[in-house]
Amino acid sequence: MKKILVLCTGNSARSQMAQGYLQHFAHGRAVVYSAGVAPKGVNPLAVQVMAEDGIDISHHTSNAVDDYAGLSFDYVLTVCDNARAQCPVFPSSARKLHQSFPDPDSLASFRQVRDQIKAYCESFFQSAPFQLTSG
């Protein structure tokens, strides 16, 4: 089973939403984690806008990237420029991918970013390099 880590600065919104969508689109064939370089708790607006689209992230926790230092990942996805710049080196052959999304600051911007992240996550699983096979 593939392991995916999504990184953002605060692990409060963008990475949380990406984790929710990646888990949804993986259909149980990948394990998805999210973390931040400076975690600050899951943003309630992220929980709200994801629930509007039928994805429950209310049980998610905000984690530090160091919490996963011992795990080997197949993919490390950074979803903001700051996380990309501060992304630690993982002792694995993880493929690192980057797509920066704006930091949402209002309900309307949370919805816009959610929709952008949803499209990115869906296309991630449709891309040729990603194969949801054991490994």
- The 10s digit of each residue's pLDDT in 74-94 is 999 999 876 666 665 555 678
* Mean pLDDT, residues 109-127: 94
Say if 86 falls within a structural domain.
yes
Whether residue 132 lies inside any domain: the answer is no
| Residue 48 placed within a domain | yes
CA distance 120 to 21: 9
DSSP helix/strand/coil, 7: strand
Single pTM value for the model: 0.90
- The pLDDT value given to residue 134: 42
Q: Does the residue 131 lie in any domain?
A: no
Examine residue 91 and state whether it is found in any structural domain, yes or no.
Answer: yes
**What are the catalytic residues?**
8, 80, 87
The count of domains in the chain is: 1
User: Position of tokens 């710049």?
Assistant: 85
Q: Is 61 among the domain residues?
A: yes
Give the residue, 32 or 27, on which the prediction is more confident.
Answer: 32
Q: Which two tokens stand for residue 110?
A: 């949370």
Find the domain containing 79 and state its range.
2-126
Tracing tokens 């929980």 back to the chain, one arrives at 47
Q: Which of 46, 71, 70 has its CA nearest to residue 56? A: 46
